[in-house]
Structure 1
Amino acid sequence: MEYFYCGIDVSKDSLDYAVCNQQDKNILLLEKTDNTISGIRKMIKLIERKVKSRQVWYCFEHTGHYGLLLAHILQSQQQKYSMVASIDIIKSSGLTRGKSDPIDAQRIAIYAATFTHKLKPTKLQSESVLRMKTMLTIRDHYVRIRTQLKNAHKSMIITSKVVPMKTEINDYKREIARYDIKITRLEKRIIELINQDNDLKQSYDKIIKVTGIGLITAASILLYTNNFKSFNNPRKFNCYCGLAPFEYTSGTSVKRKDKTSRYRNKELKKLLFNAANTAIRHDQQIKTYFNRKTKEGKHKMSVINAVACKIIYRVFAVANRDEPYVNFSV
């Protein structure tokens, strides 16, 4: 089926959009609208009149919450759309000079028309998953603030050896305790949210039993896999997390060690490394593997990376079957 492709550059207040055809990639329409409900609906109607009711495939970059309203309206009107990683569009554009919102919209439209074989229709996550994403983001902010307060509290204790700082130290203690309560309450709300969604609860109850996986790691895996709908292969998810090593060779002169890619989800990789360290301490099978590899001369961080990969394989294995996880090393 022949499509017209609409590239949209999303910003906080406005949307720049361009429409091109698939054959010669000519720009047929270049306009701007507000990033509001009325503005988005007006854009859709204008494009439909321009292409005379033929099929349109919308394409725009992942921009977090700025593009959420656009995706919601397109999905509610059963329009076909794809959210694409910005790095993919940048790398495909070749050598470019200059940048503006209208130019970016044209580049996105041309990208969609050129790489139509790579485009996959996007579907918004469920309301429960989107709410969980917001809660995890808020919790991350609270944890960062609490860490800053704890560091400042330690500095105050050192300073108090020279200057009286009792009042300030007590203030920091109260603030740290306040954020401890906030974080605990938020974690309880995340558990309640998971329990209210049957699909999330079934997956959560399975993967939480894997040694090393805690509440936040389990919730993050459910979020980024969209409850194992976006990823059905542990190898692909390891690649997304930055755990999969890649070869780096060229001819006979360039031969470097295999290493992971810098294109990764850093937060998720950090959580999985924490999970790996926990598994090394509490899972005898993993602990034996870790000790054997380090004695063979493997770098400690490389072995931890391999353990994190093993944990993902276990998570996907238990999520894709009806049987519960069994730790044979116990």
Structure 2
Amino acid sequence: MKRSSFIGIDISKLTLDVCVYRPEHKEKKVFLKVLNTPKGHELFLKELRKLNVLIDEAFVCMEYCGVYGLELGFYLETKIDYCFCNPLHIKRSLGLTRGKSDKLDSYRIARFSYLFRDELKPMKMPSDCLIQLKSLISERSRIVKSIVIEKQTLSDLTATMSKPAKDRAENRLTGLNIDKDAIEKEILEQVKSVDKINKNYELLISITGISLINAVVMILCTNNFESITNPRSFACYCGVAPFEHSSGTSIKGKTRVNQYANKVVKTHLSNAARAAMMHDPELKAYYNRKRAEGKDHGTVMNALKFKLITRAFAVIKRGTPYVKLKQVA
């Protein structure tokens, strides 16, 4: 599709810095600044029309910035093509740069969208259910971190703590566990409230090792398996796929995973792989066999993670639960 205008938006909590970049008039960049409010979003489109920007031929590019960009994304959903991009991708594509400001960042985002116009595709915002699930998963993560801190405190400082201090720590721990259980119950209710999400959830938990939280995290990261449909792409996204490291004839590095990954997802996959290794006879036998061959624990666990990923995408694609292989004695 022909694009006549590329619009970069630098999002902050209160304002939106906008740059309108037209390839035919590279020297004539137009900058706008509007409030990051519903009225500001409406004003943004009005200003574009005043500048004779053809909405059907325009493309808006923004950085992922969490909750600050949610309302804008929903507003633009049916009005103009847009996408959110990884800030690191934009930063690494700029080459040598000097200086930084919101106005300058908006220009750099607009120029990035022009340079990568063949790769960037219009996106859609996740459903309300997925947004609620993401919020609940984040809340649960904070609770779990607090539980770990309280457990560590009780474990390490029992000898020096007074009885009232110990009682308070135990009460906090009890309250945190109650909150965690309540959050997990709400997560399950949210999942079951949408048929498409619930169907994929039921398929995922049929795989040994994948539980409620693991399944929901995979659903969130793949937009219910609509934005990522390839297991290898997902493995790359969460830092499981290995990459070669060599150059010429002298540098022959180990093939290893890359650190540019979603470490939160990787952590959940690690938990799933450990559970699968203990409770799935097939994967347990695979782990023991590879360890006997001299493979490192981390290498074998990484392979188990990829096996779980391929199983997950297979059951989603097939639409039927995972079937365990019969173990031959």
Query: TM-score band (shorter)?
Result: over 0.9
Say if 2:5 and 2:54, in contact at 8 Å, map to a contact too. no
**Counterpart for residue 211 of structure 1:** 208
Amino acid at match of 2:73: A
Alignment partner of 1:321 is 2:318: yes
Say if 1:2 and 1:22, in contact at 8 Å, map to a contact too. no
**Counterpart for residue 18 of structure 2:** 17
1:158 counterpart SS class: coil
Distance 2:155 2:172 in 1: 14
**Counterpart for residue 231 of structure 1:** 228
Say if 2:61 and 2:110, in contact at 8 Å, map to a contact too. yes
2:182 to 180, 185, 188: 185
Say if 1:234 and 1:316, in contact at 8 Å, map to a contact too. yes
Deviating beyond 3 angstroms after TM superposition, the runs of 4 or more aligned structure 1 residues are 23-27
Sequence identity percentage: 36
**Counterpart for residue 146 of structure 1:** 147
Superimposed CA distance per residue, residues 286-325 of structure 1 (whole angstroms, 9 cap, x where no aligned partner): 1111111111111100110010000000000011113221
Superimposed CA distance per residue, residues 228-276 of structure 1 (whole angstroms, 9 cap, x where no aligned partner): 0011100000000000000011100111010111110001001101111
Say if 1:4 and 1:51, in contact at 8 Å, map to a contact too. no
Evaluate the alpha carbon distance shift between residue 129 and residue 296 of structure 1 in structure 2; reply closer, same or farther with a 3 A threshold: same
Superimposed CA distance per residue, residues 41-90 of structure 1 (whole angstroms, 9 cap, x where no aligned partner): 10111012103445221100011111111101111x42110101111111
**Counterpart for residue 137 of structure 2:** 136
Superimposed CA distance per residue, residues 123-146 of structure 1 (whole angstroms, 9 cap, x where no aligned partner): 000111111001101111111111
Q: Any stretches of 5+ residues in structure 2 without a counterpart? A: none
Say if 1:30 and 1:102, in contact at 8 Å, map to a contact too. yes
**Counterpart for residue 3 of structure 1:** 4
Amino acid at match of 1:72: F
Q: Which moved more, 1:77-86 or 1:299-308?
A: 77-86
Alignment partner of 1:84 is 2:85: yes
Pairwise CA distance, 1:24:
5.2
Pairwise CA distance, 1:5:
0.7
Distance 2:130 2:99 in 1: 38
Pairwise CA distance, 1:25:
3.3
**Counterpart for residue 74 of structure 1:** 76
Q: Which moved more, 1:29-38 or 1:304-313?
A: 29-38
**Counterpart for residue 121 of structure 1:** 122
Amino acid at match of 1:51: N
2:159 counterpart SS class: helix
Alignment partner of 1:256 is 2:244: no
Say if 1:283 and 1:329, in contact at 8 Å, map to a contact too. no
Evaluate the alpha carbon distance shift between residue 105 and residue 172 of structure 1 in structure 2; reply closer, same or farther with a 3 A threshold: same
Distance 2:276 2:149 in 1: 28
Alignment partner of 1:311 is 2:308: yes
**Counterpart for residue 267 of structure 1:** 264
Say if 1:14 and 1:35, in contact at 8 Å, map to a contact too. yes
Distance 2:271 2:318 in 1: 25
RMSD of aligned residue pairs (Cα, Å)? 1.2
1:84-123 to 2 correspondences below 5 Å: 84-123=85-124
Alignment partner of 1:279 is 2:276: yes
2:45 counterpart SS class: helix
Evaluate the alpha carbon distance shift between residue 82 and residue 26 of structure 1 in structure 2; reply closer, same or farther with a 3 A threshold: farther
Distance 1:213 1:41 in 2: 44
**Counterpart for residue 65 of structure 1:** 67
Q: TM-score, normalised by structure 1?
A: 0.96
Distance 1:25 1:299 in 2: 54
Pairwise CA distance, 1:155:
3.1
Say if 1:284 and 1:329, in contact at 8 Å, map to a contact too. no
Amino acid at match of 1:90: K
Q: Any stretches of 5+ residues in structure 1 without a counterpart? A: none
Alignment partner of 1:199 is 2:196: yes
2:16 counterpart SS class: strand
Say if 1:27 and 1:106, in contact at 8 Å, map to a contact too. no
